[in-house]
Amino acid sequence: MFFRVENLTKKFGEFTAVNNVSVSFEKNVITAIIGPNGAGKTTFVNLCSGLLKPTNGYIFFNGEDITNYKIHKRASLGIARTFQIVNIFQGLSVWENVKIPLLSRKNTRDIDNTITKLLTFFKLENIRYTTSSEISHGDQRLLEMCMALALNPQLLFLDEPLAGINPQDRGVIIERIVEMKRSGITVIFIEHDIESVLKMADEIIVMHKGEIVAKGPSSSIKENDFVKEIYLGGC
Amino acid sequence: MERLSNKFLFFVLTSILLLTFALPLLSGAYTNYIIIKISILSLYAVAFNIMFGYCGLLSFGHAIFFSASAYTLGVSLTKLNLPIFVALLAGLLTSVIFSIIVGFLSLRHKEIHFAMITLALSMLFWGVVMKWRSVTGGEDGITGISRSISMIAYYYICIITVLSCLFIIYKIIFSDFGLLLEGIRENEIRVEFSAHSVVKLRMLAMIISGLFTGIAGILWAFLDGAVTPTIAHWSFSAVPVIAALIGGPQSFVGPIIGTIVYVIAEDFITRFTLYWQIWLGIVVVLIVLFFRGGIVGTIAKVVSEFYHSKLREKYREREN
Ligand SMILES: Nc1ncnc2c1ncn2[C@@H]1O[C@H](COP(=O)(O)OP(=O)(O)O)[C@@H](O)[C@H]1O
Ligand SMILES: [Mg+2]
């Protein structure tokens, strides 16, 4: 199995944010994690990417137990992520932002060319020397994905990649995400906007109160009663 | 600001170079002494600032690295009668070893915790130096370190060594490694998620910082031909802190300018009063309160504001 968690639990004091979750992810499938605010989606991604230590449970990547691996170790194994709130090097140029993750790859011979290619892929090449705090929010989201892609990841977590993006600007980001999946990256993303979710996801996981309450192909998940009730509401 | 200080650095370096090379021919021994002191302490401050300005870590432990090499050199030459070559190497090695030890104990912590741990280690080191009389000479220190070259030759060796070291540090800071350090200062977590070990990068920075501080310590030991415990005292760890704050820790030349001001002010004020530290304290407090970027930062700000207002004028002209 490509990526798998077993009995994953995270408690903050008395409060259980992720409760005994066991789930596995296939290679080269886009999975969406949906669920109401506070369901534990971000916490789940934080556990998988190493930002938080689980209270209980295990995480396996390509058969390797990575539960106790530090963030940078997981990243060098090929697990990349973005954050719900844009998390980039605000004071550095767009170019430097992409260079930093690239510097961790020892086999990147022609680093300047690789950066140019990555920036072109995300249509950021025209603002490459701009300080990243000065670019638009949408471009910052793209830049953060570009930084994640620079790691040449196998597994990519995106925490609400469309948060704060105008509906008319979402297309570019959605397109890039689907394109990344086509290039062989397994994408797991959190998203609220159900329309966008259905455009991208092959699989959907529904979280509620720290637990996975439904999982299935996106075509069938809409029919799930529980999902209708707690998430899709009027749909 | 960096680009500005690059030009500034070039200007400063060339002027320093020309001036300092000509000076021994023109001026007296005292001026030469002050210049050597400035150049050694500049190297000390710039090496320290790798941690402070570029890693965002305020170390109060750099006197350890400075005096470790100086003492090792002194002991090797005066007590063990080792060849100068070996003594130099032993001195540098000791500084590196101490930077690894201090780094290992402190680098998992940040901000005030890092500062306090390095300060505590600095005090501990001072205690050992004072008590371990048989090796360090206690309060008396180590005397009789022979330069075996003329003062003028020593002068030039000092200047050339310091300039080469500054050049190397400059290259390091503006290399890919320097970019990673800048990244850590900006957003530590993002560097970790970029598959770099922050602790490892900081350790490397600490070793580089300790090594160059050690070189400064060795040059210092030859200045008076003696090593006194003053340089092992934790307050000597504060010297580069003050120099960096005065000159501006965010730029490469800041600590150098700060050192020049510090040494000249010390020399000048002590002519009138023994309590020169009071005046120094007042100056530092004023700078921290009102000129955050130090001298260089303030100049850069003024220049860039001037430049921007010029630009604005141009735009306005075009619009009218
Ligand atoms: N560091 C933390 N400390 C305490 N509680 C937290 C922390 N992080 C998240 N939580 C709580 O855990 C729950 C799940 O949060 P989160 O995973 O961010 O939800 P989601 O991303 O699904 O909206 C929330 O109730 C939140 O308040
Ligand atoms: Mg969330």
- Structure confidence by residue, pLDDT tens digits, B25-38: 667 778 888 888 99
Across B2-11, B248-257, B295-304, the highest mean pLDDT is recorded for B248-257
Q: What is the mean pLDDT of residues B62-88?
A: 89
Q: What is the pLDDT of residue B307?
A: 64
Q: What is the pLDDT of residue B4?
A: 57
Tell me, letter by letter, the H, E, C secondary structure of B27-40: CCHHHHHHHHHHHH
* In-domain check, residue B118: yes
Whole-number Å distance between alpha carbons of B40 and B11: 20
Report yes or no: A112 at the B interface, CB cutoff 8 Å: no
The CB of A40 under 6 Å from ligand 1? The reply is yes
Cβ A30 vs Cβ A201: under 8 Å? yes
Q: What's the gap in Å between A198 CA and the centre of ligand 2?
A: 19
* In-domain check, residue B267: no
Quick one: pLDDT band at residue B311, thresholds 50, 70, 90? low
For chain A, the residue count is 235
Q: What is the pLDDT of residue A155?
A: 94
Q: What's the gap in Å between B181 CA and the centre of ligand 2?
A: 29
Q: What's the gap in Å between A193 CA and the centre of ligand 1?
A: 20
Residue of chain A whose Cα is closest to the Cα of B192? A72
Q: What is the pLDDT of residue B108?
A: 83
Ligand with the closest atom to the CA of A205: 1
Q: What is the pLDDT of residue A82?
A: 94
Report yes or no: B51 at the A interface, CB cutoff 8 Å: no
Q: What's the gap in Å between A16 CA and the centre of ligand 1?
A: 9
Q: What is the pLDDT of residue A219?
A: 76
Cβ B283 vs Cβ B36: under 8 Å? no
Quick check: B261 pLDDT over 80? yes
CB contact under 8 A, B183 and A101: no
Q: What is the mean pLDDT of residues B30-54?
A: 90
Ligand with the closest atom to the CA of A18: 1
Query: Could you tell me the CA-to-CA distances from B204 to A34, B53, B223, B249 in Å, in that order?
Result: 42, 15, 29, 20
Quick check: B1 pLDDT over 50? no
Whole-number Å distance between alpha carbons of A124 and A172: 12
Residue of chain A whose Cα is closest to the Cα of B181? A100
Give the domain range for residue B176: 2-234
* In-domain check, residue B201: yes
Whole-number Å distance between alpha carbons of B117 and B125: 12
Q: What is the pLDDT of residue A44?
A: 93
* In-domain check, residue B75: yes
Quick one: pLDDT band at residue A42, thresholds 50, 70, 90? very high
Q: What is the pLDDT of residue B89?
A: 93
The CB of A38 under 6 Å from ligand 1? The reply is yes
CA R_g for chain B:
20
The CB of A12 under 6 Å from ligand 1? The reply is yes
CA distance A99 to chain B (A): 9
Share of chain A above pLDDT 70, in %: 93
Query: Could you tell me the CA-to-CA distances from B308 to A133, B135, B209 in Å, in that order?
Result: 19, 59, 36
Cβ B48 vs Cβ B173: under 8 Å? no
Quick check: B3 pLDDT over 70? no
Q: What is the pLDDT of residue B314?
A: 60
* In-domain check, residue B294: no
Q: What is the pLDDT of residue A235?
A: 42
Q: What's the gap in Å between A43 CA and the centre of ligand 1?
A: 6
Quick check: A225 pLDDT over 80? no
The CB of A17 under 6 Å from ligand 1? The reply is yes
Cβ A100 vs Cβ A147: under 8 Å? yes
* In-domain check, residue B114: yes
Give the pLDDT confidence of A123-169 residue by residue, as tens digits. Answer: 898 988 989 999 998 899 999 999 999 999 999 999 998 888 888 88
Report yes or no: A92 at the B interface, CB cutoff 8 Å: yes
Q: B191: which chain A residues are within 8 Å (Cβ-Cβ)?
A: 100
Q: A49: which chain B residues are within 8 Å (Cβ-Cβ)?
A: 193
* In-domain check, residue B226: yes
Report yes or no: B187 at the A interface, CB cutoff 8 Å: yes
The CB of A43 under 6 Å from ligand 1? The reply is yes
Q: What is the pLDDT of residue B71?
A: 92
CA distance A47 to chain B (A): 13
CA distance A82 to chain B (A): 9
* In-domain check, residue B266: no
Find where tokens 């994408």 sit: A187
Quick one: pLDDT band at residue A234, thresholds 50, 70, 90? very low
B199 against B293, higher pLDDT: B199
Ligand with the closest atom to the CA of A46: 1
Number of domain units in chain B: 1
Cβ B51 vs Cβ B59: under 8 Å? yes
**Mutation probe of ligand 1 site: the residue of A9, A10, A12 with most atoms within 8 A of C-beta:** A12
Q: What is the pLDDT of residue B5?
A: 62
Give the pLDDT confidence of B178-189 residue by residue, as tens digits. Answer: 999 999 988 999
Give the pLDDT confidence of B89-137 residue by residue, as tens digits. Answer: 999 999 999 999 999 998 888 788 888 888 888 888 888 877 887 777 7
Quick one: pLDDT band at residue A70, thresholds 50, 70, 90? very high
Q: What are phi and psi of A203, to 5 degrees?
A: -120, 150
Give the pLDDT confidence of A200-215 residue by residue, as tens digits. Answer: 888 989 898 888 888 8
Q: What is the pLDDT of residue B107?
A: 82
Quick check: B319 pLDDT over 60? no
Give the pLDDT confidence of B201-214 residue by residue, as tens digits. Answer: 999 999 999 999 99
Give the pLDDT confidence of A83-117 residue by residue, as tens digits. Answer: 999 999 999 999 999 999 999 887 767 888 899 99
Q: What is the pLDDT of residue B193?
A: 95
Report yes or no: A51 at the B interface, CB cutoff 8 Å: yes
Whole-number Å distance between alpha carbons of A138 and A161: 9
Which residues have a Cβ under 8 Å from the Cβ of A215 and sit 6 or more positions away? A23, A203, A204, A205, A206, A221
The CB of A39 under 6 Å from ligand 1? The reply is yes
First to last CA, chain A: 34
CA distance A19 to chain B (A): 25
